[in-house]
Structure 1
Amino acid sequence: MTSLSERTPDTFTNNYRVLKLIGQGGYGKVWLSARLSDNKLFAAKMVPDSRCRRKSWCMDREVYLPDEVILWEGLDHPNIIKLEEVFSEQGSWIFVMEYLAGFTDLFTLSELHGTLSESEATGVLRQITDVCWYLMEEEVDHRDIKDENILYNSVTQQIKLIDFGSASFLEIDQRYHSLQGTEVYNPPELYNGGSYDPISGIVWSIGCLAFVLVNGDIPFNNKTEVMEFKQLTWFNDGMSPIYKDFVERCMQRVEILRIDFFKLRLHPLLRGKGFRSGS
C-alpha cells in the first residue's frame, strides 16, 4: 500500500535513512536507503515535481498524482520493479521501490562487460515480451523499453523493468501523436506520418532492444536515421538467422508489414523451436 506525506504525518525523512547515490539521469536521482523500522534496504527515486508534467486526479487520495505512480503502483509481476511507497515533500516526489542487489541495468552491463550472448539475449527478450503482454492486459504501455530501463542479474538471468516515467494509459484503437520515451526507440511512422499504433510501437522497441543486446549499440543514432531508415551497420557477422529474422520482423519500416505482437510471442526464437529462413 502506498502512502502520501500530504495524507499522513509520516515523511520519507522520518522513515528512511539515505545511504548513498546509486543512479541518476534526466528524471532525478536514485538513493540507496534504509528503512528505520527494520533497516531493510530500498531504492528511493527522487524526482522534482516540475519534471512530473503528466498528472491525473486520484479520487481516493483527493490529490493530483504523477501518471507514473497511478500506472505503476497497481502492477504485480515478477519482472517489474515493485513500488513500495510514495512521498511528496520539499517540492519533490520520492518513489520508494525494492532494492535488488546483484542487478545492473543492461546498458551499464554492456559498457562494463560487453554484449550478451544470443542465448542470454533471448532470455531477456522472452521476459520483456511477457512483461509487455502483462502490461497490455493491465491497459498500461511503458513507452520506454530499452536497455537502460532493464535491470539484469547475470547469475539468475532474471530481468526487472524499471522507470514508468514515460508510461501511458493504453486504450483500444488509439494512436499516439507525440514523442514519449527515447527518440531512437520510437518507430519511423511517428516522424514520417505523425502518429503510430501503440502495440506496433512496442514491437518496434523490442526489435531495437534485441539489436542492442547482441551488438552493443543502437541501430539508429538519431531521429533522422530512423526517418530515413538507414541500415548501414545493422547486423554483426555472427548473428544467427533466427535472431536476425526476429529483429527484421520487429523493425519493418512499413507499419502494416511489421509483425503483430501476438504473432511475435510465437516466433521460434522465443519458443526455442527450430527455424527455417522465411518460415
Structure 2
Amino acid sequence: MERYEIVKDIGSGNFGVAKLVRDRWTKELFAVKFIERGHKIDEHVQREIMNHRSLKHPNIVRYKEVLITPTHLAIVMEYAAGGELFERICSAGRFSEDEARFFFQQLISGVSYCHSMEICHRDLKLENTLLDGSTAPRVKICDFGYSKSSVLHSQPKSTVGTPAYIAPEVLSKKEYDGKIADVWSCGVTLFVMLVGAYPFEDPNDPKNFKNTIGRILSAHYSIPDYVRVSMECKHLLSRIFVANPEMRITIPEIRSHPWFLKNLPIELMEGGSWQSQDVNNPSQTIE
C-alpha cells in the first residue's frame, strides 16, 4: 500500500471499510475496499475479484488491482465521486421521466455488457449504482460480491440480493436464470427513480416483510396517481414486472423498446464505440 496515501473514509459495510486514496505517483484518486484477512475473505470476496477484474466498461466501476497487506485484503478500484444513485434520489424525492431514463439507459448498458461477458450481477440496486463526478453523471455499477459467472456455475439456486429488489423466481428457491432476475432488479431501480418508493412494499405497512414477499410473488404493484408516467414507460414496467421469468422482457428487448430508445446517447447504442479507459492489466500484489 506504500503507493497510496489514505485521504478519508468513504463508507463501510459487512465487508469492512472503504477509503478514498491518492496514488502518490500519478495523484489519481481511487476507492479501496479493505477486507480483514481471515473468515471475511469468503467466496463472495473471491467471486467479486474473479468476476469484477474481467469487466471493462464505462458504466462499470473499473477494477485496478488487489493488494495483500499483513492484516487486510485491499481491492483498489475507480473512485466514483458522485456517490450513490440512492443518495441522489433521497435528496430529490424522485426523478423526472427523462432523468430516470438517462440513468436507466446507462444501467442497462452496463448490465448488458456484464451478461455478454457471461456474468450476472444478482444484487443490482440503487446503493450498488454509483455516479462519477461529471455534470451529466455517468452511472458506475459496483459490488460484484454476489455476481455469478454463468459459464463456471450452473443456474444459481441461492437466494441472494436485497429483499426489495429480488425477483419472484429467486424467492421460490428454484433454479433460475440470473440474467432474467437482473432484469427484474433493473425494473425496481427504474420504478424507485420514477416514484421515490419501492414497487412491492405495502404503502400502508412498508416494513411488513411478509406483505412485500407476497406482492413480489404476484408481481402486484401500482404507480400512484400523483406520479405522471408516459404510457410507453408504463408498458416497459409491465413487461419487466412479470412473475414468470420465461415471459419477462429480456435485456436485448429492453434495448429495442421505444421508451428506452428515446434520447439514447450515441455511445449507448448497440455496438457503441466506447473505449476502455484503462490500459493497465488487473494485477495482484503482495506486500
TM-score range, shorter chain: 0.7 to 0.9
Instruction: Tell me the residue number matched to 1:256.
Output: 246
State TM-score, norm by structure 2.
0.79
Equivalent-residue separation in structure 1 for 2:102 and 2:121 (angstroms): 20
Give the drift of 1:185: 1.5
Give the drift of 1:271: 1.2
What stretches of structure 2 of length at least 5 have no aligned partner?
Answer: 202-208, 264-287
Give the drift of 1:137: 1.6
Instruction: Tell me the residue number matched to 2:213.
Output: 226
- In the alignment of these two chains, the number of paired residues is 251
Equivalent-residue separation in structure 2 for 1:270 and 1:262 (angstroms): 11
The answer (yes or no) to whether the contact 1:188–1:227 under 8 Å persists in 2 is no
Structure having greater relative contact order (Cα 8 Å, sep ≥ 6): 2
Instruction: Tell me the residue number matched to 2:40.
Output: 51
The SS at the match of 1:18 is strand
Decide which of 114, 135, 155 is 1:175's aligned counterpart.
155
Structure 1 residues 172, 43: CA separation in 2 closer, same or farther (over 3 Å shift)? Answer: closer
What stretches of structure 1 of length at least 5 have no aligned partner?
Answer: 1-11, 56-64, 274-279
Task: Write out aligned runs for 1:100-179 (5 A).
Answer: 100-101=80-81, 103-153=82-132, 155-171=135-151, 174-179=154-159
Equivalent-residue separation in structure 2 for 1:196 and 1:26 (angstroms): 26
Structure 1 residues 48, 264: CA separation in 2 closer, same or farther (over 3 Å shift)? Answer: same
CA displacement, residues 130-181 of structure 1 (integer Å, 9 cap, x when unaligned): 1112111211111111111111357213211111111111239942211122
The SS at the match of 1:51 is coil
Give the drift of 1:232: 6.8
The answer (yes or no) to whether the contact 1:79–1:131 under 8 Å persists in 2 is yes
Task: Write out aligned runs for 1:1-279 (5 A).
Answer: 12=1, 14-49=2-37, 50-54=39-43, 66-101=46-81, 103-153=82-132, 155-171=135-151, 174-192=154-172, 194-221=174-201, 222=209, 225-229=212-216, 234-237=222-225, 238-272=228-262
The answer (yes or no) to whether the contact 1:140–1:168 under 8 Å persists in 2 is yes
**Cα RMSD for the two superposed structures:** 2.4
Equivalent-residue separation in structure 2 for 1:17 and 1:35 (angstroms): 7
Equivalent-residue separation in structure 2 for 1:172 and 1:51 (angstroms): 23
Structure 1 residues 152, 34: CA separation in 2 closer, same or farther (over 3 Å shift)? Answer: closer
Equivalent-residue separation in structure 2 for 1:149 and 1:265 (angstroms): 21
The SS at the match of 1:17 is strand
Give the drift of 1:227: 3.9
2:13 counterpart letter in structure 1: G
The SS at the match of 2:30 is strand
The SS at the match of 1:128 is helix
Instruction: Tell me the residue number matched to 1:7.
Output: none
Equivalent-residue separation in structure 2 for 1:255 and 1:231 (angstroms): 11
2:58 counterpart letter in structure 1: P
The answer (yes or no) to whether the contact 2:63–2:78 under 8 Å persists in 1 is yes
The SS at the match of 1:100 is coil
Q: Quote the sequence identity (%).
A: 29
